[in-house]
Amino acid sequence: MSNSKLELHNLDVQGFMKAIDQCTGDVFLETADGDSLNLKSKLCQMIGLMSIIEGGMIAEATIRCQLPEDETILFRYNLYGKTE
């Protein structure tokens, strides 16, 4: 599992969820309290995203990916607002 963490800021929730769906491995949202929620689970998506959404946008999140290629997908989305 990748030990690097990706900080995301000011992302569109719908677009971010599409980027998560493109990931093949597990993607974890790490909360300020130290919890780790697997965003590949729809239940964890609802719980985790509710805590970081402000005005329809993801205000800030720390993400850890199981696979380096998934980290690349999310990094590209964070930087350019798209996955390709």
Instruction: Identify the domain containing residue 53 by its residue range.
Output: 5-80
- Is residue 5 within 8 Å of residue 71, measured between CB atoms? no
Averaged pLDDT for residues 1-17: 76
Domain count along the chain: 1
* Residue from 30, 29, 32 nearest 40 by CA: 29
Provide the CATH number for the domain around residue 23. 3.30.1340.10
Average pLDDT estimate for 62-79: 90
Taking the model in full, what pTM does it have?
0.78
- pLDDT above 80: residue 62: yes
Query: If we measure between CA atoms, which residue out of 36, 47, 49 comes closest to residue 3?
Result: 36
Phi, psi dihedrals of residue 6, rounded to the nearest 5°: -120, 125
pLDDT of residue 22: 94
**Residue 3: predicted pLDDT:** 63
For residue 23, pLDDT beyond 90: yes
